[in-house]
Amino acid sequence: MAATGSRRRIFFLHGLLLLWGGVIWARLFRLQVLDYSHLRRRARNQQSRLIRVRPRRGVIYDRRLHPLALSLPVESVFAVPGRVLHPRAESRQLAAILHLSATDLRRRWRAARDFCWVARQIPAAQSSQIRTLHLPGIEFEKESRRFYPKGRLAAQVLGYVGLDGNGLGGLEYSLNRGLAGKAGRELVEVDAHGRVANIIERPPHRGESYVLTIDQYVQYIAQKELDHEMRISHARRGTVVVERRDGALLALASAPNFNPNHFARASSRALQDGVVSDVYEPGSVFKLVTLSAALQQGLATPQTMVNCQMGSINVGGVTIYDHARFGLLSVTQILAESSDVGAIKMGLRLGPRRLYRYIRDYGFGRRVGIGLPGESAGILRPPSQWSGMSIGSLSMGQEIAVTPLQVAAMITTVADGGLYRRPQLIRDRFHGDPPAVLPPFQPSPARRVISARISAEMRAMMGQVINPLPATGWEARLNGYSVGGKTGTAQMVLPGTHAYAANSYVASFGGVVPLSKPQITILVVLDNPIGLHDGGTVAAPVFRRIAERILPYLGIPHDEPFSLPAGRSGYELSQTGKGLPPKPVRPPDVFAREAQAALPASWGAAQTAPSSSTVVVDYSGGPALPDFSGQTVGQVAAYCARYNLVPRLYGSGLARAQSPAAGAHLMPGDRVTVEFSRHPRPPASPHTGG
């Protein structure tokens, strides 16, 4: 019996051992075969992590290589929840530094097993505080934050960048592929003691940098004057285009605008670039197209007399009334007086097909293509879709929708030899640091629309819009420069209808200067100004204020006598013969100060910008002023005339004192005071310090 019980116990023990071994083998099979891939991934995630290293985004410069958009190095904090040992304590410490909710942090950690962002793109001071805590499971990733050192300057042109480093608007969006570069890869490994080692598997490749045709000074003046007029006129929206004769766009200003360093606070209207996306009926500015086409086709000359029928005409069964009861007007007077009836008669002479062809040749009905997203082609229906009165409406700038950029290009074409050049915004691009000298600007190929002779006749006619008094565009007159242009006052169409609003207008003025040899085109468009609303009253003064500040800066010489303001020395005028430009206003860099304020105070100077020029607008850059000591009055005056400086010369003989001192960098229009004497200056006393 005892032997039988002993055998039973042995069999039972063997059974237990076999069962235990089977369980172990089943568990090993599950771990080594069934769950192998899952467990291997978990181990890899616990011990190492492959991080995408974002490249340094390219810089966007203005035409003088002042940075308008650049990226600054920052750090972001992330957590590996599985390695966080004390979630409650660690979340409280992080929340206190980052001004977050500790409860929200713990909730996010529970939801994410392997990876969870704690805070993105934090200031250096916060990053340093977190590092000193040595919190398990809390790691850092290098990133970059996009910074716009000029703040609101050219905000709609530049656009903005999201937290993921991708452009969301403006050139940041359309050029994102080139600006972004190629990402690298970094392997982060953790040993058994929790020590972190970083291994770069593939370095990132920096993005391309772009040079724009925009000039930050011209852009500043355009934006400043537009903002000023918006406050006065209470217009709903405004745009300014400044274009050089070769198609280079020096300024594209829109209002309202925004600070791209805080783009999330901006309204949807402020984020849109009205220069390329807003469409409107141009009104009388469009008469430049109609009249130049009629002249080119030989249907009229500037002196041809046209019966304007005392201010009314019937087209397609609809009577169109002029703003005044004009009788006989020459073609020149039709433009100067902005006669709708006169323009319609020229359009009728052209006929639908020829008028449509010239409208297309001037670039309407198609996108200009300067690289900005959201650009509109406008609205232009082919003649097959015109009604009986369409030719009359189009002749005076109705039944067509255009963008400010298209209108500016048309004005440049009409006034500058009749050659259409596509406007350009992007001047150059390169990798790495900017070159010491940029290659010459390459304008787009020219396409002839009207002959040089007709262009010269149109310039003379555009001059009659400004002079003599009382001309419709007399508010655009400049001291020392001839001006030609055209006013526009178009009624706005009621939304969802074909009727025009009684008290809503788009006021505009587009002009070229100097008229004798056009160098610059400036177009001002104001959407629905309150009170005074005609282009000659509200838009032409903006043109004048912009032109009188940027022409001296651009070094464009006078083509008419310059009248000195009261209190100026007549000697200053006589030395140059052509007169001197008014001194350009050195703007307080409001936009740059706003941009600097966008950075947290805890960011160090080394982080805010690679150099001071990225934060402070530098408008110096002319030749260094020489030491005039011993030079004659004539020599000093000749130097000042050469560099467009304003000399204040006192005495006679040889120069013995000057202000500013030698070596100063001045801008065109700056004043130089020099004192002359026939007697040598006595040496300075060593006791008085000279």
List, for residues 507-523, the tens digit of each pLDDT value.
Answer: 999 999 999 999 999 99
Element (H, E) at 219: helix 216-233
Residue 452: the pLDDT is 96
Residue 164: the pLDDT is 79
Q: Which of 212, 241, 267 is the last residue of a domain?
A: 212
Give Dmax (Cα) for the chain.
146
- Using one digit for the tens of pLDDT, what is the confidence trace for 393-430? 999 999 999 999 999 999 999 998 999 999 999 999 99
Tell whether 411 and 319 lie within a shared domain.
Answer: yes
Residue 443: the pLDDT is 93
Q: Are 164 and 35 in contact (CB under 8 A)?
A: no
Say whether pLDDT at 375 is over 90.
Answer: yes
Asked if the peptide bond before residue 468 counts as cis, ω within 30 degrees of 0, the response is: yes
The CB density around residue 229, as the number of other CB atoms within 10 Å, is 23
Instruction: Give CA–CA dist 404/282, Å, rounded.
Output: 9
Tell whether 531 and 621 lie within a shared domain.
Answer: no
Residue 197: the pLDDT is 57
Residue 25 domain-assigned? no
Instruction: Give CA–CA dist 203/235, Å, rounded.
Output: 51
Tell whether 386 and 513 lie within a shared domain.
Answer: yes
Residue 667: the pLDDT is 64
- Using one digit for the tens of pLDDT, what is the confidence trace for 540-570? 999 999 999 999 899 898 888 877 554 444 3
Residue 608: the pLDDT is 36
Please give the residue range of the domain that contains residue 90. Answer: 49-212
Q: Which phi and psi (to 5°) does residue 182 adopt?
A: -120, 130
Asked if the peptide bond before residue 660 counts as cis, ω within 30 degrees of 0, the response is: yes
Average pLDDT over residues 273-290: 93
- 510 against 636, higher pLDDT: 510
Q: Over pLDDT 90: what percentage of the chain?
A: 46
Tell whether 396 and 540 lie within a shared domain.
Answer: yes
Average pLDDT over residues 463-484: 89
Q: Which of 576, 609, 640 is the last residue of a domain?
A: 576
Residue reference for tokens 């009170």 = 531
Inter-residue long-range contacts of 262-269, CB under 8 Å, 24+ positions, other chains counted: 262/598, 263/160, 263/168, 263/169, 269/237
Residue 6 domain-assigned? no
Angle at 122 between CA 617 and CA 74, to 5 degrees: 60
Tell whether 363 and 482 lie within a shared domain.
Answer: yes
Q: How confident is the model at residue 438 (pLDDT cuts 50, 70, 90)?
A: confident
Cα separation values, 537 from 233, 340, 534, Å: 11, 19, 6
Torsion of CA 116, 122, 128, 130, to 10 degrees: -30
Helical residues (DSSP H) of 71-181, grouped into ranges? 87-98, 102-111, 124-133, 155-158, 170-174, 176-180
Residue 49: the pLDDT is 63
Instruction: Give CA–CA dist 42/48, Å, rounded.
Output: 10
Pull the structure tokens for residue 504.
């809503």
Angle at 279 between CA 276 and CA 280, to 5 degrees: 140
Tell whether 369 and 494 lie within a shared domain.
Answer: yes
Instruction: Give CA–CA dist 640/525, Å, rounded.
Output: 37
Residue 470: the pLDDT is 76
Instruction: Look at residues 356, 354, 371, 363 and name the one whose alpha carbon lies nearest to residue 403.
Output: 363
- Using one digit for the tens of pLDDT, what is the confidence trace for 388-402? 999 999 999 999 999
Positive or negative torsion for Cα 98, 102, 106, 107: negative
Residue 116: strand pairing partners: 79
- Using one digit for the tens of pLDDT, what is the confidence trace for 114-140? 678 888 777 777 888 888 888 888 888
Three-state secondary-structure class, residue 488: strand
Pull the structure tokens for residue 17.
């051992």
Q: What is the CATH number of the domain that holds 204?
A: 3.90.1310.10
- 614 against 376, higher pLDDT: 376
Q: How confident is the model at residue 672 (pLDDT cuts 50, 70, 90)?
A: confident
Say whether pLDDT at 210 is over 90.
Answer: yes
Residue 199: strand pairing partners: 187
Residue 363: the pLDDT is 96
Instruction: Give CA–CA dist 328/334, Å, rounded.
Output: 9
Q: Which phi and psi (to 5°) does residue 592 adopt?
A: -65, -35
Q: How confident is the model at residue 284 (pLDDT cuts 50, 70, 90)?
A: very high
Q: Are 640 and 647 in contact (CB under 8 A)?
A: yes
Tell whether 241 and 365 lie within a shared domain.
Answer: yes
Residue 338: the pLDDT is 93
Pull the structure tokens for residue 146.
């996009």
- 82 against 482, higher pLDDT: 482
Inter-residue long-range contacts of 183-187, CB under 8 Å, 24+ positions, other chains counted: 183/52, 183/53, 183/54, 183/55, 184/52, 184/53, 184/55, 185/50, 185/51, 185/52, 185/53, 186/50, 186/51, 186/53, 187/48, 187/49, 187/50, 187/51
Residue 97: the pLDDT is 84
Average pLDDT over residues 498-512: 84
Q: Which of 212, 247, 266 is the last residue of a domain?
A: 212
Average pLDDT over residues 600-609: 37
DSSP-derived letter for residue 413 is H
Range with the poorest average pLDDT among 26-30, 162-166, 354-358, 383-387: 26-30
The CB density around residue 264, as the number of other CB atoms within 10 Å, is 7
Say whether pLDDT at 591 is over 60.
Answer: no
Tell whether 246 and 367 lie within a shared domain.
Answer: yes
Residue 72: strand pairing partners: 145
Give the highest mean pLDDT range of 157-166, 209-218, 267-276: 209-218
Residue 23 domain-assigned? no
Instruction: Look at residues 133, 143, 130, 136 and name the one whose alpha carbon lies nearest to residue 80.
Output: 136
Residue 9 domain-assigned? no
Q: Are 392 and 315 in contact (CB under 8 A)?
A: yes
Residue 19 domain-assigned? no
**Position 106, amino acid:** R
Average pLDDT over residues 268-289: 92
Tell whether 421 and 277 lie within a shared domain.
Answer: yes
> What's the whole-model pTM score?
0.75
Residue 432's Cβ-side half-sphere holds a number of Cα atoms within 13 Å equal to 2
Q: How confident is the model at residue 636 (pLDDT cuts 50, 70, 90)?
A: confident
* Residues written for the chain: 690
Instruction: Give CA–CA dist 184/203, Å, rounded.
Output: 5
Q: What is the CATH number of the domain that holds 532?
A: 3.40.710.10
Task: Give the distance from CA 588 to its chain's centroid.
Answer: 19
Tell whether 282 and 367 lie within a shared domain.
Answer: yes
Residue 437 domain-assigned? no
Residue 220: the pLDDT is 94
Residue 34 domain-assigned? no
Tell whether 224 and 362 lie within a shared domain.
Answer: yes
Pull the structure tokens for residue 204.
């990132």
- Using one digit for the tens of pLDDT, what is the confidence trace for 186-202? 666 665 555 555 565 67
Query: Whole-number mean pLDDT of the chain?
Result: 82
Q: What is the CATH number of the domain that holds 625?
A: 3.30.10.20
Tell whether 499 and 611 lie within a shared domain.
Answer: no
Element (H, E) at 137: none
Cα separation values, 116 from 39, 83, 109, 337, Å: 20, 12, 6, 69
Say whether pLDDT at 34 is over 50.
Answer: yes
Give the highest mean pLDDT range of 91-100, 461-470, 522-531, 626-635: 522-531
Instruction: Give CA–CA dist 521/285, Å, rounded.
Output: 14
Residue 5 domain-assigned? no
- 305 against 6, higher pLDDT: 305
Residue 497: the pLDDT is 61
Residue 632: the pLDDT is 80
Residue 49: strand pairing partners: 188
Instruction: Give CA–CA dist 284/398, Å, rounded.
Output: 9
Say whether pLDDT at 683 is over 90.
Answer: no
Residue 188: the pLDDT is 65
Domain count, the chain: 3
